[in-house]
Amino acid sequence: MPTDALTPQEAARWADRSGLPLDADRHAEVAATAQYIHSVVSVLHEIDFADTPPAPTYRVPEDVRGGQRHCARA
Amino acid sequence: MRAHELSLAAAAEAIRTRRLSPVELTEAVLDRLDRTEPLVGAYATVTAERALGIAHEAEREIAAGRLRGPLHGVPMGVKDLIDVAGVPTEAGSRVRTGHRAESDSAVAARLAAAGAVLVGKTHTHEFAYGLTTPQTRNAWNRGRVAGGSSGGSAVAVAAGSATFALGTDTGGSIRVPAALNGVVGLKPTYGLVPRTGVTSLSWSLDHVGPVTRTVEDAGLVLAALTGPDAGDPASLPALPDPGTNPQHPTGRSNPPDLTGLRVGVARDYYFDRVDGQVEAAVRRALAHLEALGARLVEVDTPMARYVQAAQWGLMVPEATAYHERTLRAAPDLYGADVRVLLEAGALMGAGDYLRAQRARTLMRQAWEQLLEEVDLVAAPTVPTTATPVDEEAVTWPDGTTEAVSDAYVRLCAPANLTGMPALTLPVGHAADGLPVGMQLIGRPLGEPLLLRTGHAYEATRPAHELARAA
């Protein structure tokens, strides 16, 4: 287990703070899964986002929606 | 060919020319369903009586000269996440026991308006949060997974117990089971098909689309589903040319001609950790596209290293948010695999979610740039054929192991993150008889080109055989 791994106690406290109190028998399993999820998503720390804004959802560009772009080839 | 084996296009033509009635077709599909359900378990709910009622009504309308279109009188299934008035939407979960939908989802209403005949609701992995659909077995080998989460829809279409079906796709959930069962699946452009009345897994990644036996059929179903809907904030406004006009979804040319089409083939990612037989089948299909006139262009996969991180960074907190109240009130009603993911999702911070959203911005830009250089990208849909039902991980020749669900999402997720359309079509079988799928990824609203390319392939490499295990 990595030294910064989430402990069952920490998982219980974080879940409680986010409004999801967990029974004691859930703490270890949830901590392990949360740790794995963290290991997957933390790769994004490598990216220098500079001024990149978030994209809450995908939006088709206006020029594509207007049927002006690409339609000839499509 | 028996009625339950017909493609949608062939069934529609037989109905139009009065060689087949909607009642005959529906009875044939229901008979087939009775025989295949004990073997593969594709359906959560069967609405046989209702189906026959609708089929009789369609028959009367058509006899009176009021044919609504190619879906009129054709039996189909919808994934059990999609509301149909008066029928339960159980979402594969005990959480929904006793549920009954009060109104039609937008897509169910559109299929009903097109005259399609609902045969039943097809099994989903619980709340679409998984890639295997354990209630259902693969249509080609009952010892193998159906794939998911739209496993019931893909197996029903492959087995002949639905002429077409609807699925949903958040990280491959239409394309994965379609590929594993040798049928066609289309994840449309984000926002093209409304999700009103469809249980969400992850709002910003969810799509609804068709599962069919042929690419031509996928175009026919898509044409009935598109258009704005006020209930879905992501729904696109009315488009001057959404490219789904039934007159041209597959742009018939005879013989099929793909001259000038630039097909991107990835140097990396899409062929990394891919089973040798899957890669060989896809490369044969690429060579076939080349023989039809396409030009294969080597490309690099944009931001491949960050695909899984961005997918999880978006999907995990969105899924937990959707289930917040029921997870607090009745956690024991969820299956163990889904419950722990939902609970652990509560621990993810806003920083991770925002980083994933910003990664999506960069990915979308990089893919749009890539799709200026090529017209579409072709790749394996999934890196391996259907795995044994009790197998949890895949071991690759380089010694690494990967969870089965991670392997199945890996090649599909980029199209969910970018919102671009992606079509899977069958391109052969591995030596053990299990089907292999190839994925075509296109520009936003590029469905017509994907359908035309896929149709050119299937017209010259037809694969109409029904699945063997069913």
Instruction: Give the Cα separation of B411 and B378 in Å (integer).
Output: 11
pLDDT by residue (tens digit) across B157-187? 999 999 999 999 999 999 999 999 999 999 9
Confidence category of residue B240, pLDDT binned at 50, 70, 90: low
Domain ranges, ordered by start, for chain B: 3-234+261-306+349-460
Cis preceding linkage at B255, omega within 30: yes
Does residue B311 carry a pLDDT above 70?
Answer: yes
What is the helix (H) or strand (E) element at residue B37, kind and residue range? helix B22-40
| Nearest Cα to Cα of residue B80 among B114, B105, B45, B132 | B45
pLDDT at B155: 98
Q: Is the pLDDT of residue A4 over 90?
A: no
Name the minimum distance, in Å, from the CA of A2 to any CA of chain B: 18
Res. A63: pLDDT tops 80? no
CA distance A8 to chain B (A): 11
Q: What pLDDT, on a 0 to 100 scale, did the predictor assign at position B465?
A: 75
Contact A60 B240 (CB under 8 A): no
Please compute the mean of the pLDDT values over residues B389-408 and round it to a whole number. Answer: 96
* Residue-level pLDDT at A62: 67
Asked whether the predicted pLDDT for residue B254 surpasses 80, the reply is no
Share of chain B above pLDDT 90, in %: 93
Q: What integer pLDDT is reported at residue B175 of this predicted model? A: 98
pLDDT of residue B466: 84
Confidence of residue B154 (pLDDT cuts 50, 70, 90): very high
B276, with CB counted inside 10 A (0-12, 13-18, 19+), is: exposed
CB-closest option in B341, B345, B419 to A58: B419
pLDDT at B51 over 60: yes
Whether the per-residue pLDDT at B226 is higher than 70: the answer is yes
Is pLDDT above 70 for B371? yes
Q: Which residue of B has its CA nearest to A12?
A: B347
Give A31 to chain B, closest Cα distance, Å: 7
B327: nearest CB among A20, A44, A67:
A20
Residue contact A67–B240, C-beta within 8 A: yes
pLDDT per residue as tens digits for the range B69-119: 999 999 999 999 999 999 999 999 999 999 999 999 999 999 999 999 999
Beta strands B164-169; B117-122: pairing state? unpaired
Give catalytic residues of B, as residue numbers: 79, 149, 173
| Residue B434 pLDDT greater than 50, yes or no | yes
Q: Which of A 3-62 lie inside 8 A of B, CB atoms?
A: 6, 11, 14-15, 18-22, 26, 29-30, 33-34, 37-38, 40-47, 49, 52-61
| B189 interaction partners in chain A (CB closer than 8 Å) | 60
Question: Which has the minimum average pLDDT: A31-35, B24-28, B460-464?
Answer: B460-464
Q: What is the mean pLDDT of chain A?
A: 84
Q: How far apart are the first and last CA of chain A?
A: 51
pLDDT-derived band at B375, boundaries 50, 70, 90: very high
With beta carbons less than 8 A apart as the criterion, state whether A22 and A30 touch: yes
Q: What is the secondary structure of B180-232 as a DSSP string?
A: HTT-EEEEPPTTTS--TTB--S-TTT-EEEEEESSHHHHHHHHHHH-S--TT-
pLDDT-derived band at B252 (thresholds 50, 70, 90) equals: low
Q: The domain B3-234+261-306+349-460 belongs to what CATH superfamily?
A: Amidase signature (AS) domain (3.90.1300.10)
Please spell the DSSP secondary structure of B316-334, one letter per residue: HHHHHHHTHHHHHH-GGGS
Q: How confident is the model at residue B241 (pLDDT cuts 50, 70, 90)?
A: low
Band of pLDDT at residue B245, cut at 50, 70 and 90 = very low
**pLDDT score recorded for residue A1:** 47
Chain A partners within 8 Å of B346 (Cβ): 14-15, 18-20
> Does residue B463 register a pLDDT over 80?
no
Query: Which residue matches tokens 């609902």?
Result: B118
